[in-house]
């Protein structure tokens, strides 16, 4: 789960990291009531990158200018995400910028510290154009990020004296935050030199969804659409895409291969929902309801390979609330004959071959019969 910058900064501040203070507002008129030192920076709060290039970050020297910027940014779309809030913060007089992050590296199955003296820009750009400016350090979970390692990392950035001491403390704290909060990424970019010290001007925090049960105080995810949130609350894995064929399957592998099948035959999935193993009649009925509520659905492809999941349970869920748009169904596996019988009795046909039923779904979405 990604957090907005202001949410990440709240967590950073809780751990004692020096963050650039600011106030979040949802209406431009609120700017006049803010007690902030000018100039200020008005920053769109979105979960996608590239907000600066999209015009979502503006500097304002006066309250009227800040209000005008807030009015322009609020409501704009950045990479498909509508801006609902802006963070207004006193502008920092930055002398130099660094990058510091702790990230889960799946290749090495460990946490890795990533630092660079080329902060303030996308680290991916730095890695592509000047990889020699990036320093990395594999973290031993039994040691964490002790001061001697943090200082060694800071020296590789050219830091020395009090700034090196401060960098060491920030790195140790950021790693503690990363570990305690079950984060996948804890990033400061830029970690700026302001005056005589370091300041976290921007913050990014990506949390591991699988550890959510350990953190009851986490904010609600804003990455999910209302339908995705509803599906999750019903124990269903549902993801929205941009095609016109709704997809239901059982098991992540089957669902992924179903998306590939549709793409192979020229179709585009509008969404997919994994009813999982051991799906119930009620779960299937709920799944059908959710996938069809996404606007623009022209057909449904239900691809069930019954193992633990019983085909007769799936069939009962389908006939209780039949698809409202043309559907192509593949139903095979455990209790296949009974499942097929239930569907036939309700006037619904289902095939056994995945290729044939995928092609049929694509044809239905194109208006075929």
Asked if omega into 190 is within 30° of 0 (cis), the reply is yes
Measure the CA–CA gap between 291 and 164, rounded to whole angstroms: 53
Tally of CB atoms within 10 A around 301? 29
Asked if omega into 171 is within 30° of 0 (cis), the reply is no
Active site residue 223: no
Query: Catalytic: which of 187, 228, 238, 336?
Result: 187
Active site residue 10: no
Which class for 213: exposed (0-12), middle (13-18), buried (19 or more C-beta within 10 A)? exposed
Contact (Cβ atoms closer than 8 angstroms) between residue 70 and residue 31: yes
Angle at 143 between CA 180 and CA 127, to 5 degrees: 80
Q: What three-state secondary structure class fits 190?
A: strand
Residue 79 dihedral angles phi and psi, to the nearest 5°: 50, 40
Measure the CA–CA gap between 132 and 186, rounded to whole angstroms: 22
Closest CA to 7 of 171, 203, 215, 208: 203
Q: Which helix (H) or strand (E) holds 128?
A: helix 123-129
Q: Which helix (H) or strand (E) holds 151?
A: helix 147-156
Tally of CB atoms within 10 A around 64? 11
Query: Catalytic: which of 98, 99, 175, 238?
Result: 99
Q: Which helix (H) or strand (E) holds 94?
A: strand 94-105
Closest CA to 70 of 37, 35, 23: 23
Measure the CA–CA gap between 245 and 226, rounded to whole angstroms: 19
For residues 236, 239, 245, 250, the Cα torsion angle rounded to the nearest 10 degrees is -40
**Residue 19: DSSP 8-state:** B
As a residue count, the chain comes to: 369
Catalytic residues: 99, 187
């Amino acid at each position: 789960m990604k957090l907005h910058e202001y949410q990440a900064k709240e967590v950073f501040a809780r751990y004692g990291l020096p963050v650039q203070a600011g106030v979040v507002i949802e209406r431009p008129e609120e700017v006049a009531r803010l007690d902030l030192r000018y100039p200020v920076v008005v920053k769109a709060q979105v979960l996608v990158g590239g907000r600066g290039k999209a015009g979502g970050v503006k500097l304002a020297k006066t309250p009227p200018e800040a209000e005008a910027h807030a009015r322009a940014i609020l409501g704009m779309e950045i990479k498909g995400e509508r801006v609902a809030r802006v963070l207004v913060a006193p502008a920092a007089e930055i002398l130099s910028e660094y990058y510091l992050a702790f990230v889960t590296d799946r290749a090495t199955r460990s946490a890795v510290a990533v630092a660079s003296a080329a902060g303030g820009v996308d680290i991916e750009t730095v890695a592509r154009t000047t990889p020699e400016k990036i320093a990395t350090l594999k973290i031993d979970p039994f040691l964490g990020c002790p001061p001697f390692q943090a200082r060694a990392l800071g020296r590789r950035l050219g830091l020395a004296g009090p700034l090196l001491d401060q960098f060491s403390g920030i790195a140790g704290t950021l790693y503690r935050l990363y570990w305690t909060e079950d984060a996948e990424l804890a990033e400061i970019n830029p970690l700026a030199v302001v005056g005589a010290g370091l300041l976290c001007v921007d913050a990014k925090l990506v949390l591991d969804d699988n550890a959510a049960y350990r953190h009851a105080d986490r904010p609600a995810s804003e990455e999910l659409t209302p339908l995705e949130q509803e599906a999750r609350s019903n124990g269903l894995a549902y993801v929205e895409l941009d095609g016109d064929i709704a997809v239901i399957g059982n098991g992540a592998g089957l669902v992924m291969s179903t998306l590939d099948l549709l793409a192979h035959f020229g179709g585009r999935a509008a969404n997919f929902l994994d009813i999982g193993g051991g799906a119930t009649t009620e779960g299937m009925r709920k799944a059908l309801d959710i996938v069809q509520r996404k606007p623009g659905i022209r057909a449904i492809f239900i691809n069930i390979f019954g193992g633990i999941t019983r085909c007769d349970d799936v069939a009962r869920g389908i006939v209780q609330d039949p698809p409202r748009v043309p559907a192509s169904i593949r139903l095979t596996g455990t209790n296949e004959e009974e499942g097929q019988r239930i569907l036939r009795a309700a006037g619904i046909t289902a095939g056994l071959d995945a290729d044939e039923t995928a092609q049929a779904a694509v044809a239905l979405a194109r208006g075929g019969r």
